[in-house]
């Protein structure tokens, strides 16, 4: 006798579906909670500083904060010729008040960034201004310094009164705005930042290639050894991490100097007759940076090579492939993820290097990070420092996108 069929309990199935969805939402919330600390860390210590840097690169708040009435009057002026007497009177009054409040230095430094000498002009004018100006304010300013009769100064003040400026970004690209507001190349003696950027990229590329050439055979040898021997030798690869970067850079100065052990050894071997100049120049920078960054290339390569089954090479050789052909067609393609990860890591680290080039290099070997530190610490020109950092960030992102498009985003990782 056939068993009676049981009707489908639609109410029970609906309840099971709701319970499944609730369980899925709980898992999603748990996953979100686990990633929330990392997301908060990236937001606070990575994204917000980058946003602040980009904002500093275009910020133009000095005159608006120190001389708000003058900024409003200059903003309302059409910028044609010389301003009317009321605008000049407002600027003069705010100038005097800012000087008495000892707050004029920021505005003077901002003007001096565009036209050298305007800082002393502005401070000198404010020092000689009377508390109240009777009659023509523009004439009173011009009596103190004739430059106040030049329309270019007033147009500069109007640009400075705007909340944002492209001054620093243009200077970072060796550009400037002319008197009529047109963008043009800076004079040759001032156009230095693009050369510095190319120099930075050139040094970084050479260091990356040098690290790859040195690290690949080393990682290959480590991957072919037994694990206990490879781990022992890996200690020597990681040894530079246990030494201060400053100490390592200073040690290379001792090793590479004309009276150092490297020159003495080369002379003793008869390879050279006179000591080579290998420090405080490009040679010293390349050698020292390659030594410092070499472990960052070895580790990704070793991690990938260690995971490649040795049977692949044996199978290629058993099928008649010569050793070099087996390496080139079987082993090398499988190490591309390690090459991509190591090259990207070394290149990105090298373009931001500061201590090693500053100590081991000469005046013509400093990278862009040196000038970012110079504007930050010495001239306290935060806008210019942020603009150079922004240009470097855009260059790195562009190179990364090109790399990911040509090589493939899946080749960047090691999986």
pLDDT tens readout for residues 4-33 = 444 556 666 777 777 788 888 888 888 888
> How far are the Cα atoms of 249, 348, 391, 412 from residue 371, in angstroms, in the given order?
19, 18, 13, 30
Q: Could you tell me the pLDDT band of residue 294, with boundaries at 50, 70 and 90?
A: very high
Cβ 63 vs Cβ 164: under 8 Å: no
Taken in order of first residue, the domains within the chain and their CATH numbers are 62-163 (no CATH), 193-411 (1.10.3720.10)
Q: How many CB atoms lie within 10 A of CB 274?
A: 8
pLDDT band for position 148 (50/70/90)? very high
Q: How confident is the model at residue 284 (pLDDT cuts 50, 70, 90)?
A: very high
The count of other CB atoms within 10 Å of the CB of residue 224 is 13
- Cα angle 397, 401, 402 (rounded to 5 degrees) comes to 120
pLDDT at 34 (0 to 100) = 84
User: Is pLDDT of 413 > 60?
Assistant: no
- From CA 93, how far away is CA 373, in angstroms rounded? 37
Q: Is 289 left (phi over 0), alpha (psi -120 to 50) or beta?
A: alpha
Q: Are 386 and 303 in contact (CB under 8 A)?
A: no
pTM: 0.81
pLDDT-derived band at 409 (thresholds 50, 70, 90) equals: low
**How far apart, in whole angstroms, are the C-alpha atoms of residue 73 and residue 90?**
7
CA distance 288 to 18: 63
Instruction: Quote the Cα angle for 208-385-198, to 5°.
Output: 35
Estimate the crossing angle of helix 261-268 against helix 245-256, to 10 degrees. Answer: 40
Residue 383 CA to residue 56 CA, distance in Å, equals 5
Query: Would you state the structure tokens that stand for residue 334, as one six-digit string?
Result: 């499988």
DSSP letters, 149-162, are G-HHHHHHHHHHHS
How far is C-alpha 226 from the geometric centre of its chain's CA atoms?
Answer: 40
């Amino acid at each position: 006798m056939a068993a009676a069929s049981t009707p489908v309990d639609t109410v029970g199935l609906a309840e099971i579906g709701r319970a499944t969805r609730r369980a899925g939402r709980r898992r999603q919330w748990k996953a979100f909670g686990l990633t929330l600390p990392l997301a908060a860390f990236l937001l606070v210590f990575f994204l917000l500083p980058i946003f602040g840097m980009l904002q500093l690169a275009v910020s133009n708040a000095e005159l608006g904060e120190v001389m708000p009435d003058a900024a409003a009057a200059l903003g309302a002026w059409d910028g044609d010729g010389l301003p009317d007497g009321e605008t000049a009177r407002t600027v003069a009054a705010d100038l005097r008040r800012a000087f008495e409040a000892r707050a004029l230095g920021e505005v003077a430094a901002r003007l001096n960034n565009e036209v050298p000498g305007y800082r002393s002009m502005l401070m000198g004018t404010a020092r000689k201004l009377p508390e109240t100006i009777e009659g023509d304010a523009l004439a009173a300013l011009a009596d103190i310094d004739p430059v106040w009769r030049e329309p270019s100064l007033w147009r500069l003040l109007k640009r400075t009164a705007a909340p944002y400026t492209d001054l620093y970004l243009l200077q970072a690209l060796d550009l400037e705005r002319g008197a009529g507001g047109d963008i043009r190349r800076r004079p040759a003696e001032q156009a230095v930042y693009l050369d510095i950027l190319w120099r930075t990229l050139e040094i970084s590329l050479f260091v990356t290639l040098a690290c790859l050439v040195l690290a690949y055979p080393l990682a290959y040898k480590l991957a072919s050894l037994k694990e206990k021997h490879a781990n022992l030798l890996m200690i020597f690869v990681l040894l530079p991490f246990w030494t201060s970067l400053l100490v390592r850079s200073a040690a290379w100065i001792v090793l590479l100097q004309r009276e150092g052990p490297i020159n003495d050894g080369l002379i003793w071997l008869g390879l050279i007759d006179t000591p080579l100049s290998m420090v405080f120049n490009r040679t010293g920078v390349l050698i020292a940076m390659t030594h410092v960054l070499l472990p960052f290339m070895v580790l990704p390569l070793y991690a990938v090579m260690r995971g490649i089954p040795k049977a692949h090479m044996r199978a290629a050789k058993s099928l008649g492939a010569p050793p070099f052909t087996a390496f080139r067609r079987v082993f090398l393609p499988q190490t591309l993820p390690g090459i991509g990860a190591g090259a990207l890591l070394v290149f990105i680290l090298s373009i931001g290097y500061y201590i090693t080039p500053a100590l081991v290099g000469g005046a013509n070997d400093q990278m862009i990070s040196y000038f970012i530190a110079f504007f930050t610490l010495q001239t306290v020109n935060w806008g210019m420092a942020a603009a150079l950092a922004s240009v470097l960030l855009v260059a790195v992102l562009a190179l990364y996108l090109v790399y990911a498009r040509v090589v493939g985003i899946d080749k960047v990782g090691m999986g």
